[in-house]
A and B are shown apart, each in its own frame.
Chain A
Amino acid sequence: MAGAAELVLLGVGIGIKLLLAPSYHSTDFEVHRNWLALTHSLPVSQWYYEDRSEWTLDYPPFFAWFEWTLSQLARWWDALIVDVDNLGYAAPSCVMFQRLTVIVSELVLFMALQRFVKINSHSTQAQVAAALGFFSPGFLFVDHIHFQYNGFLFGMLVYSLVLAYEGRDLLSGIMFAVLLCFKHIFMYIAPAYFVYLLLNYCLVYTRQQNADRLNLGASILRLLQLGVYVLAVFGIAFGPFAAMGQIPQLLLRLFPFKRGLCHAYWAPNFWALYSFVDRMLIVGSRIAPNLLPNLRVNAAAIASTTRGLVGDSAFAVLPDIAPLPTFVLTLVAQIPACAILLSSNRRSPTRFVQSVVLCAYASFLFGWHVHEKAIILVLAPLGLLMAAPTRLALRMFVVLAVSGYYSLFPLLFGMQELLLKTAILLIWSLCALSLLKADGESAWKCLSALEKLYIAGHIPLFVLTELVPAGAFGHLQFLPLALVSVYTAIGVLYSWCGLILDFLFLS
């Protein structure tokens, strides 16, 4: 019967997503339509050079092949979709086709979660965690309204993690390599995979005289085995392009370093707080110049960060940040993630998922030009841990989920989507707060008073930033978006501290 219930849930999900089809879609819709067209109409050698549209192909080759596969169907559905010169095509048939590809490809996530439930012996908690993952506002907002293919990609990530749970580390590693060749943002969590596979798969111990000894030969053999497989995956993906001598061009497309530290809308991370302090210092220097006499304000920078340009973000008062320090900071922040795996004697798959979570977290908090959508990279694996959470982890998950998903609100800025995003987030949060449990107590009961207050605080924040007309903020135009970033960043940072505490010291 469990299967029937899950199928009903799947059906409800598909139904809601079909109903959402005519809602707003961002430029990412045209990005993917253009990729359908160019992979269909051009020879492989042209894929990474084509630039008739400004939305050039900037995902790794497997994703391009994925688009190529879809384009074969698209041609049959509506040939106008795959015309490279038909820029900005968004007729209802095209919208329906692309929406359907997202919905159908998301089945990968559903099947991965099914498998996850199975290895948790169909416990109610695991089913709840899986259902919350499948109905995550992240996927509903970003995939089914804004338009992207995260459901499918995260399905592969969950599959890879489930393989690790099942003890099939090599397959898990290969799956992750494949995933990287679909979308390189998953490099954020590569350190966790690297350390885990190295320690758990490659190092082989043999029992000698009541002590475990490293079996060097067997270990090297495994390392080679893993290396060969991973390199083979990358070879299949990038080999043809390497043969055509296009690797520099690919790298240029995949890593566009001209972008700034923060996106136009600050993702709720450390740099959002940094930017906000900078902004406050500008305002402070205007209101009370005497209090801060030594403040040197860079007038040219004042206009930049908040005016919606995806350019360099310059700071007016605080020092500017170059890419390199953010990398160093990210790597330093990832130390706890890897430390989880180093310190424990028994490197369980749960440990591994924890380390993936912290790894993604560190990249999100300190990375260069982080998108708000990247919070899903933290929330998706963390959601899996909610099948059997500690009280602290559950509290942190709920705080992070509410603030993280709320931080996606500015992505769907239209009046029409206001009700959609609010209803979706509220339904999901109510279910999560009442159905996720630790020690038999619901998440809401586990929360401390302060955390409850913080979660409830999103309601006045919503009123202030979504319902009050923008004109009410006068020349402080940046304030509504900045408020969302800063308020949600507090929750995101708080949960990070709590999770480090929980993963590193308590569990």
Chain B
Amino acid sequence: MATKTRPKGAARAAGRASTAVKDVVPLNAWFRFLEAQDAQKVALPVTLLLAVLVRWCVALHGYSGQGKPPMYGDYEAQRHWMEITTHLPPSQWYFYDLGYWGLDYPPLTAFQSWVCGFVANLIDPEWVALDTSRGIESHSSKLFMRASVLVLDLAIFVPAVVLFFRSRRVPTSWVVRQVSTFSVLLQPCLLLIDHGHFQYNSVMLGFLVWAVVFAASDSYVSMAVAFCCALMFKQMALYYAPAVFFFLLAKCFQSSHGFILFIKLGLAVSITFGVMLLPWIQSPDQLMQILTRVFPVARGLYEDKVANIWCAVNVIVKLRSIYGIDDLLRLATAATALAFAPSCVHLFVVVKRHAGKPLPAVRDNIIRLLNYGLLNSSLAFFLLSFQVHEKSILLPLAPALLLIDDEPWAVNWFVQTSLFSMYPLLFKDGLAIPYAVLAVGWSVLRSCPVCPADKQTPRVVFAMQWLTTLAMVALHAADALIPPPTSLPDIYVVLNAVFSCAMFTMFFLYFNYRQFTLLSRPSADQTLASKLKAE
């Protein structure tokens, strides 16, 4: 709820929110209108259809490496994996012609490629013909590729998000739930990367949201399996691993059946990994190859320009020329561990204290805490770990979006900044128009920067949001109008990275602070819980 910022008189604030929010945030106004018109039944179908429509509209535009031989881009990589998995035995998947987009994701991605390739082969074998299909860019093959992302997104990510916002024990208002569902399903970053740039992040993030949904329904074994799936789809899910690990570990300390849960979780994880690795499990060479493919340490501290601390520091101190790659790896790992430790320890301690069967309101808070943990852990990885891509900001974004009704203005701002940080990439892919449309759409529909009429948000946030938004617009305008000086051809990309990095660091500190103060601040839910207690 938007009432968090005014601790005094939560009930009064809630009453005010229902009138104030209505006028300020267009998205709230839309669902409030549907409620007033007694048309709640169409709200979710319309949201889902819009989600499909906007995804498919974005898919009409360019993708990474379109028309850029000989290597093309991520689109060709994904298509190429369909080609090799369909035509070659698993033993060759991680070895075949590594110079041309060799497979470098864990087995579940390979299986997904294999299934997609199988279907493609049924419809038109030319799309995935071994070697000869390299760089194929026919209209029909593009449609197939786009459709495969859409289908997987709709099958895994979308239902998880819808279920998550229905999983609260203490129900939030109908409007808030609908607004949150709409916002998460139509957040621009994931849409542009998956359906524009071309990747299958929604599968990994979908598995993560499923893990959270399972956690909310106390099915921890399912949670572990879902998280293993995320991990086996993209190794980047490791960003979440500390939070998931400490959360599940704390659950094992519950008074009854704690040890049994521990055994079950161990078995579930082993079996999931075992099944996924089954084709290669007999050969240590194969397993080693998968490991080195999946963790390409040799690629360096970071790629291109990314809005993390190493890249920002590099503007002044050329780390890569001072230290060797092993030192950098150690430095990055230690810094990451230090950054996620406080959040994970806090998560562990609190979850352990409440393990068992707590009150509905407390259970909701535990899930919130899990989301804060996932967010802080993955943001720590994004800022400080080794080999980070600009697209990896999607990982902290996913748990942040699950907190959207607790942290409306912060998450709005976070999404806005993340989108901005990906602009250089999206521009390269010919996605400037969808970028502009979705960026403006997000800002307007969710009212970020905060509308002057909003009296809920602290004034300092109001001022800072307007300042940063103006800075982003100014940077875009300069990029479009003023050619960069010849001595600094990357100036706009570097400025973008440094600015975004500063913002992300600020968000990291803020979300950590919010995690630590979650239990001590009165929320609408807690007021309700204490009321129930009194009765």
Residue positions of A touching B, CB distance < 8 A:
1, 4-5, 8, 11-12, 15-16, 18-23, 124, 415-416, 419-420, 423-424, 426-427, 430-431, 433-435, 437, 442
Contact = CB atoms under 8 A, between A and B. Distances in A.
Given A8-B444, A426-B49, A427-B46, 7 more contacts: A12-B445, A15-B438, A22-B60, A23-B60, A416-B139, A416-B143, A427-B50
B433 to A, nearest CB: 6
Contacts of A15: 437-438, 440-441
Interface string B6-44: 000000000000000001001001000010011101100
A420 B54 CA distance: 9
30 contacts: A11-B441, A11-B444, A12-B441, A15-B437, A15-B441, A19-B433, A19-B434, A19-B437, A20-B60, A21-B60, A21-B433, A23-B60, A124-B37, A415-B143, A416-B143, A419-B53, A420-B57, A423-B49, A423-B50, A423-B52, A423-B56, A426-B45, A427-B50, A430-B42, A430-B45, A430-B46, A434-B41, A434-B42, A435-B39, A442-B39
B283 interface: no
B140 interface: yes
Contacts of A5: 26, 29
Given A8-B26, A15-B441, A20-B60, A442 B433 contact: no
B49 A19 contact: no
A431 B49 CA distance: 12
A18 B437 contact: yes
Nearest to A21: B433
Nearest to A22: B60
Contacts of A431: 42, 46
B226 interface: no
B58 interface: yes
Given A20-B60, A419-B56, A423-B52, A434 B39 contact: yes
Contact of A427 (B49, B56, B61, B444): B49
Contacts of A12: 441, 445
A12 B39 CA distance: 20
B53 A22 contact: no
Taking residues whose C-beta sits less than 8 angstroms from the other chain, chain B's interface range is 20 to 34
Which of B41, B42, B46 has its CB near the most chain A CB atoms (within 10 A)? B42
B53 A11 contact: no
Contacts of A1: 23
Contacts of B38: 442
A419 B437 contact: no
Nearest to A12: B441
B38 to A, nearest CB: 7
Contacts of A18: 433, 437
Contacts of B42: 430-431, 433-434
A503 B399 CA distance: 56
Contact of A8 (B34, B57, B445): B445
B56 A420 contact: yes
B140 A415 contact: yes
A1 B49 CA distance: 27
A19 B54 contact: yes
B39 A19 contact: no
Contacts of A426: 45, 49
Contacts of A442: 38-39
Q: Which of B26, B45, B61 has the most CB of A within 10 A?
A: B26
Contacts of B54: 16, 19
Contacts of B58: 19
B53 A423 contact: yes
A112 to B, nearest CB: 23
Contacts of B41: 434
B381 to A, nearest CB: 33
A426 B434 CA distance: 23
B254 to A, nearest CB: 45
Contacts of A419: 52-53, 56
A25 to B, nearest CB: 12
A8 B140 CA distance: 35
A15 B436 CA distance: 9
Contacts of A434: 34, 37, 39, 41-42
A19 B23 contact: no
Contacts of B143: 415-416
A420 to B, nearest CB: 6
A12 B34 CA distance: 17
Contacts of B53: 16, 419-420, 423-424, 427
Contacts of B34: 434
A16 to B, nearest CB: 7
B440 A20 contact: no
A149 to B, nearest CB: 21
Nearest to A440: B38
A19 B438 CA distance: 9
A435 B54 CA distance: 22
Contacts of B438: 15
A166 to B, nearest CB: 28
Contacts of B140: 415
Contacts of A124: 37
Nearest to B51: A423
5 nearest A-B pairs in the assembled complex, by CB-CB distance:
A19-B57, A434-B39, A423-B53, A15-B437, A430-B42
Contacts of B29: 5
A205 B278 CA distance: 94
A124 B49 CA distance: 24
Given A11-B444, A15-B440, A442-B39, A416 B60 contact: yes
B314 to A, nearest CB: 36
A16 B438 CA distance: 10
B60 A19 contact: yes
Interface in B429-478: 433-434, 437-438, 440-441, 444-445
Contacts of A435: 37, 39
Contacts of A23: 57, 60
A16 B143 CA distance: 20
Contacts of B46: 427, 430-431
A160 B10 CA distance: 53
Contacts of B441: 11-12, 15
A19 B439 CA distance: 13
Nearest to B139: A416
A19 B42 CA distance: 24
Nearest to A416: B143
Contacts of B37: 124, 434-435, 437
Contacts of A11: 440-441, 444
A21 B57 CA distance: 9
